[in-house]
């Protein structure tokens, strides 16, 4: 990475930097990129993903009702209905 790369990044981020700051950041970036290289070279042997016990935390619906049996009751309570649907104000 070169000083012109730092200047380009600062320009893209719309950050004003002094020459001293650019030089300091350049040194920091070199050490950060070096650390990333070390991470990429690490040998990791994971053959299978391991996670905690996967389970459904939702309770079973013990007494489900038939679909649509409350539709008429709900539609009677709303201010506006159109073609069997609740009509709401358009928001953009």
Asked if 27 and 7 touch (Cβ cutoff 8 Å), the reply is: no
Q: What pLDDT score does 50 carry?
A: 63
| SS3 (DSSP) at 11 | helix
CATH number of the domain at 12, please.
1.10.20
Tell me the pLDDT tens digit for each residue of 3-54: 899 899 999 999 999 999 999 998 888 888 888 888 888 777 766 666 666 7
Greater confidence (59 vs 9) lies with: 9
Q: What pLDDT does residue 12 have?
A: 93
Residue 12 lies in a domain: yes
Question: What is the domain range of residue 37?
Answer: 3-41
Contacts of 5 (CB under 8 A, 6+ apart): none
The number of distinct structural domains making up the chain is: 1
- Does residue 80 have a pLDDT over 90? yes
């Amino acid at each position: 990475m070169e000083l012109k790369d730092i200047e380009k990044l600062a320009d893209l981020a719309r950050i004003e930097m002094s020459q001293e700051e650019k030089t300091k950041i350049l040194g920091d970036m070199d050490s950060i990129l070096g650390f990333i290289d070390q991470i990429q070279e690490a040998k990791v042997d994971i053959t299978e993903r391991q996670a905690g016990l996967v389970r459904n935390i939702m309770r079973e619906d013990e007494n489900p009702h038939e679909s649509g049996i409350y539709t008429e009751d709900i539609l009677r309570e709303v201010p506006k209905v159109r073609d069997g649907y609740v009509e709401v104000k358009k928001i953009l």
